[in-house]
Amino acid sequence: MFEVALNFRRYGDAGRDVLVLHGLFGSAKNWHTQASSLAGEFHVLAVDLRNHGASPHSPRIDYPSMAADVLALMDSQGIEQASILGHSMGGKVAMQIAMQTAARVHKLIVVDIAPKRYPPHHDDVLDAMQALDFGVHRTRQALDKALSERIPDAGLRQFIMTNLVRDAKTGAFTWQLNLPAIAADYVRLAAAPEGEPFDGATLFIKGAASDYIHADDRKIIETMFPRARAKVIANAGHWPHAEKPRAFAKVVADFLRSD
């Protein structure tokens, strides 16, 4: 295992440290609104996980490796302990950190993911992204149309397209994230985080319309996170921070402020 030096965005310069970890196909910039809302009270680092955003690419992507990256970032910034908020894949990274290095985590916030293995459910998205011909489709409109044949959900498509950047040499669009590594190691991303139960303050946030956390996940959550509490965001799916930003921000801030 080797660590990569993660890219991050800093919000605020005072208060307790808070790290924000995005989900699969996401990046730190997706969390600008939420990070900004916390910056008045907290020192926030919104992180690009390996193979995502502007962080370095690596041939391997799994939870122990991503946890090591985040801990190395904390070390480089002189952060001994932080509250960590993670969404989806980032939630599993956050849980991995808490379960293997509990002393580094003040509070844990897990957004719409459970500490379990999930069946593959991004195959269509990965196939669509890998099949995109940047030589043929050279505008965002053309790329959107091409992706729509396999990704009919416009919201999901726009989220995926936040990863498009221009190649400095050719001027053509390309994927900023490391798509080959993500596709090759996808089975590792479906896995559960591993380690010892985390006895620190923990909040699980679920979108009411999301099916990522089920009632029968309660047992494993209570076993691995005995102090966990839960909040459900009404009228939200898997991205409650984007779909109901005010309600989400209040839930997060209230938890971080609590004793």
- Tens digits of per-residue pLDDT, 94-132? 999 999 999 999 999 999 999 999 999 899 999 999 999
Average confidence score pLDDT of the chain = 96
Cα–Cα nearest to 160, from 186, 124, 135, 136? 124
Note if 238 is an active site residue.
Answer: yes
Note if 87 is an active site residue.
Answer: no
Query: What does the pLDDT read at residue 1?
Result: 59
Buried b (16+ CB within 10 A) or exposed e, 159-187: bbbebbeeeeeeeebebbbbbebbeebee
Q: How far apart are CA 83 and CA 108, in angstroms?
A: 6
CATH number assigned to the domain with residue range 8-118+190-257, chosen from the 4 options 3.40.50.1820, 2.40.10.220, 1.10.3720.10, 3.10.450.50: 3.40.50.1820
Residue 169: pLDDT over 90: no
> Which residue in the list 88, 137, 148, 214 is annotated as catalytic?
88
Residue 2: pLDDT over 80: no
Q: How far apart are CA 194 and CA 100, in angstroms?
A: 8
Q: What CA–CA distances, in Å, run from 137 to 19, 20, 131, 172?
A: 37, 34, 11, 9
Ranges of each domain in the chain: 8-118+190-257, 123-180
